[in-house]
Amino acid sequence: MPELRKDPITSRWVIISTERGKRPSDFFPEPERKKGGFCPFCPGNEGKTPPEILVYRNDGGQPNSPGWNLRVVPNKFPALQIEGDLNRQGDGVYDKMNGIGAHEVVIETPNHDETLSTMPENKVEEVLWAFRDRILDLKKDPRFRYILVFKNHGEAAGASLEHPHSQLIATPIIPKRVREEVDGAKDYYDYKERCVYCDIVRQEQSHEGRLITENQDFISIAPFASRFPFETWILPKIHDPFFEDAQKHEYINLSRILKEILMRMDKVLSRPAYNFIIHNSPLREADVPTYHWHLELMPKLTRVAGFEWGSGFYINPTPPEEAAHFMREAKI
């Protein structure tokens, strides 16, 4: 029988459609179409991107020239622009402001055909350090209230370029989804005097049915109220509101568990397109100690349709316990 499951953080309900019971072989992701042709992110084409704002190199070298390991550049077609004032206004019942923010691209490797699952662990770690470095710089701007780090891998997940990259967007408002999580975590803390995410970590470690893998600093699970088949969360075991406050050993272990999860996903789901998002604490709020940063990873296996848009429910055809089992059993 299908189940309705309630997310303990946002109170969002999800339908786990157990009668559909889709296994990994039931998903047939469309093969990615290799576009080929010119790539502005490949070495030698540095002049085709905006000037870099962060670069990692082994042996120095001139800015905006080959020889780099990782580059961060402003998005050439930004969703928000960094110059100007917010100029908040009201128009009757409507509110508006200028589209001020920052939109940056992390070019993760000079190798066009690499992915986070095939890179060496130390290269995955460099990507995480780049996220940290850019967050620490952008949070100095008093106009910004939130910085979202995300990755679209594959055409089905919204990637417009094949070359491996991820993005950061700083916004002058806190996104609604993040606000729901922050408020839900605070409500839980006010009621129980405990962090809901820390409770989830403890319960999933003892339950083990949705536990995929863990290491010294992180746990990876299929969340109880998964919105999507094979949705996966990575959470710090120790309470921490801010991704950018992590220590070196934590970035090392985060790179290990992230690479491992992506390798397992590639094995189980035949290299699917996916999105991942780092949900971090807002920049300037007194109550964020009740929040717990984490990474959410969603392979693109199903489509959101009319019922989901109209109701706010998600229908997940693969129970998270089954998804976790397949992921744990994958031979990598």
Contact indicator for 50, 82 with CB cutoff of 8 Å: no
Alpha-carbon distance of 102 to 138, in angstroms, equals 8
Q: Looking at residue 208, what is its pLDDT?
A: 81
Local structure of residue 321 (DSSP, 8 states): H
Please state which architecture CATH assigns to domain 3-29+42-329: 2-Layer Sandwich (3.30)
Average pLDDT per 10 consecutive residues for the chain, totaling 332 residues: 90 82 65 74 95 92 92 93 87 88 96 96 97 96 95 92 96 93 95 96 93 97 96 97 96 98 96 96 84 96 88 91 94 86
Alpha-carbon distance of 266 to 143, in angstroms, equals 39
Q: Looking at residue 28, what is its pLDDT?
A: 62
Per-residue pLDDT reduced to its tens digit, 182-207 = 999 999 999 999 999 999 999 999 98
Q: pTM of the prediction?
A: 0.93
Alpha-carbon distance of 144 to 204, in angstroms, equals 35
Q: What are phi and psi of 39, to 5 degrees?
A: -125, 115
Q: Looking at residue 201, what is its pLDDT?
A: 97
DSSP structure string for 23-83: -GGG--PPPPPP--S--TTSTT-GGGSPPPSEEEESS---TTSS-EEEEEEE-SS-SSBSS
Rounded to 5, what percent of the chain is helix, strand, coil? 30, 25, 45
Contact indicator for 20, 37 with CB cutoff of 8 Å: no
Enumerate the domain spans of the chain: 3-29+42-329
Catalytic (active-site) positions? 165
